[in-house]
Amino acid sequence: MHSVVRTFALHGVDAIPVEVQVVVSSGYPQMTLVGLPDTSVRESKERISAAFRQADISLPPKRTTVNLAPAEVKKEGSGFDLPIALALLAAHGLVETERIERLFAIGEISLDGRLLRVRGALPCALAAARSGGTLLLPAGNVSEVEGVDGLEAVGLSSLRELALWLDGGDVCSPAAARSVEGSTPRAAGVDLSSIGGQLVAKRALEIAAAGDHNLLFVGPPGTGKTLLAQALPSILPPLTDVESLEVTIVHSVAGLLREGAVRVRTRPFRAPHHTVSAAGLVGGGAIPRPGEVSLAHRGVLFLDELPEFRTGVLDLLRQPLEEGEVRIVRAGRSVRFPSRVSLVAAMNPCPCGFLGSEKPCRCTPSQVQRYRGRIGGPLLDRMDLHVEVPTLIAKELPIVSNDGLRGDASSAVAERVLEARRLQIERYAGLDGVFANAHLDHDEVPRQCVVDGRGRALLERAADAFGFSARAIHRCLRVSRTIADLGGRGAIEPEHVLEAIQYRVLDRSVQVTA
């Protein structure tokens, strides 16, 4: 006999339709699994056989061939257990083939017959909804797929429940199409008002949030660089419904969603250690998984002690920062992971950390040069704002003085950021994939970031004095546009350009005045 059950193979954040085809014939009783399965898929034979025995399901001893089509698509993971088991039951006549014609199935089967959660259930659910079929999945994944429009999903906890459902019985309620519309809560980061002083750095943080710019803090230890970075999520706009779905898909593929979670509703904040590997930062591995830059999609990626990261690892960030996605190419296939992040990095001014502070610096000029050279010019060019974070004096600290400089609370700053983002969304309504000033491509910058004669002259003088690259000039223009938006100005004025230039601290060697 012959049977077919549909399922999915995960390639990056995409779910590729796969058919599990089973043919039963006379001959030596064995099961052959073909169709480019990896080790975890080949081992499904043993898991399914043991689970069938536990569930008192007995299959006739016949030759069985299981094909996973299309054969050129590599099949990975334990999610093929349930569709293979279902196709075996149908091929041996234990399930009517008409009952499984419109089914999709994913799920891992334990040796005692329980169905275990699998990663990537959400992209599979979206693909099933587009095809109009019913999705069978483990009960632990049911909440993950709630809210997918047009999806009919059935959660099962064991093979016994599968048999009951196939006979028309009631099992775990189908996933309810619970609404996820409306604004999502803002991330509960560090409040800006709890950080004493550093008003210039806080202003830069507001600009970075308003235009989705990359930001680098430079300063001695203990000046608040990490706290400032941790405050960024508290002033970013709430996730939209589309962004929330994108983030949840990435976390679903990575297997990071907790059981019972419906959607990721706050912007991620990821802070990998400087010993992170290339695959850990940008993704990869034998079975490609999303790295930290993708897990921070639509959120914040914080790289503390930036020069301590391996140079080769940092260089891999160039393409994700420019294009907003990671493409991992392996022999015969390519996978993609989204990576539209707000990058915040922090570094000391020198190896000992005290260059330019009140404490004496022990570093030689060559040591400072080598230390900063670990970052590399191309990556620095992609940082829109370079900001000095100086050592605070005691009266600036709220913990020491009641008059400590606190500045605005995150809630007030967030309102200004939200208004600036609203202006940008309206301005770029006709540009695909552009929602903030930092997303403007090379061709759009001259059209959208127009400056007058004084502003142009100011930028030319700065470029000549500091040796700005073409990319640095474009980033100054984007930042100028954001500063104008925060001020509610329709046109970029010279003071906006001048402020943007002041945020290129690692490029500056002299002071420019209007």
What pLDDT score does 197 carry? 83
Pairwise CA distance, residues 501 & 458, whole Å: 9
What pLDDT score does 175 carry? 43
| Cα 77 to Cα 43, 105, 157, distances in angstroms | 10, 14, 19
- Both tokens of 280, joined, read 């850990």
- Both tokens of 419, joined, read 């208004």
Stated as kind and residue range, the H or E segment containing 49 is helix 44-54
Helix axes 470-486, 410-427, angle to 10 degrees: 110
**What are all long-range contacts of 434-440, with beta carbons under 8 Å and residues at least 24 apart?**
435/212, 436/210, 436/211, 436/212, 437/211, 437/212, 437/213, 437/478, 437/479, 437/481, 437/482, 437/485, 438/211, 438/212, 438/213, 438/214, 438/384, 438/478, 438/482, 439/212, 439/324, 440/478
Report residue 364 CA to chain centroid gap: 40
Could you tell me which of 196, 197, 214, 218 has the C-alpha nearest to residue 205?
Answer: 214
What pLDDT score does 395 carry? 62
What domains, with CATH codes, occur in the chain? 2-166 (3.30.230.10), 192-428 (3.40.50.300), 440-514 (1.10.8)
pTM of the complete model: 0.89
Q: Are 482 and 471 in contact (CB under 8 A)?
A: no
- Both tokens of 384, joined, read 């829109």
pLDDT per 10-residue tile (average), the chain, 514 residues: 92 95 90 94 95 91 94 92 96 88 94 95 96 93 91 93 85 46 55 89 97 96 93 95 95 90 91 95 89 96 95 91 89 86 95 89 92 87 91 65 69 96 95 92 92 93 88 93 95 95 74 42
What pLDDT score does 325 carry? 94
What pLDDT score does 398 carry? 60
For CA atoms 435, 441, 444, 445, give the dihedral sign: positive
Report residue 283 CA to chain centroid gap: 11
What pLDDT score does 176 carry? 42
| Cα 44 to Cα 47, 71, 100, 484, distances in angstroms | 5, 17, 20, 59
Pairwise CA distance, residues 467 & 462, whole Å: 8
Q: Which residues contact 332 (CB under 8 A, 6 or more apart)?
A: 72, 74
Number of neighbouring beta carbons within 10 Å of residue 441: 11
What pLDDT score does 510 carry? 40
